[in-house]
Amino acid sequence: MDSQNPYAPPAAQVDDIYEPTVTLELAGRGLRLGAYIVDQLISGAMIGGPYVVAVLIAVGSGADAVTGAIAGGVLSLAGFVVWAWLTIRGVAENGQSIAKKMLAIRVVRSDGSPATLGRIFWLRNVVNTLISIVPFYFLIDFLFIFAEDRQCLHDKIADTIVVKA
């Protein structure tokens, strides 16, 4: 008879605790707010800017507004694709949106390990957007940053923190 117990737990050693090699410093509240504002300005300029320019050019050249709106829509879609590609690439590589990279901050897991693109997209963005149908949720989410751990509610949901890069 075999002496191994088939019901015994596995004997393999599992290293699932991430030990960061450097000390992480939380990003300041002002830096986080600045990154949010700059990201909104960048996305607005890359998506809305081409639309406005195309409509103004079409109307200024004597074309009808529908032609300008169609051209603007195509250019806006192109701007969105470029913006999304830059943002997804930055978040996947190092947890940084365009503005977070400019301001030298990044999103990581609360234990310091890298945050995955899926975690940032689904938990920090999609789930947070779905919850935002609750009245005043955005205000509650925002006010959580004044806690000692500087985590907004969406950070707590995704188990992430924002640190200096």
Ordered by start, the domain boundaries in the chain are 29-164
> Tokens standing for 48?
């809305």
Q: What is the mean pLDDT of residues 120-135?
A: 95
pLDDT at 125 over 70: yes
What percent of the chain is predicted at pLDDT more than 90? Answer: 79
Model confidence over 89-111: pLDDT tens digits? 999 999 999 999 999 999 999 99
Q: Locate tokens 């300041």: which residue?
A: 28
For residue 1, pLDDT over 60 is answered with no
- In the structure encoding, which two tokens stand for residue 86, read together? 């830059």
| C-beta of residue 107 within 8 angstroms of C-beta of residue 100 | yes
Contact by Cβ (8 Å): 153, 144 = yes
* pLDDT more than 70, % of the chain: 94
Helix (H, G, I), strand (E, B) or coil at 109: strand
* Residue 9 confidence (pLDDT): 82
- What tens digit of pLDDT does each residue of 8-59 get? 887 877 766 667 677 899 999 999 999 999 999 999 999 999 999 999 999 8
Q: What is the mean pLDDT of the chain?
A: 92
Identify the pLDDT of residue 20: 66
The more confidently predicted of residues 122 and 4 is: 122
What does R_g of the chain's alpha carbons equal in angstroms? 22
Give the span between the Cα atoms of 116 and 88, in whole angstroms.
11
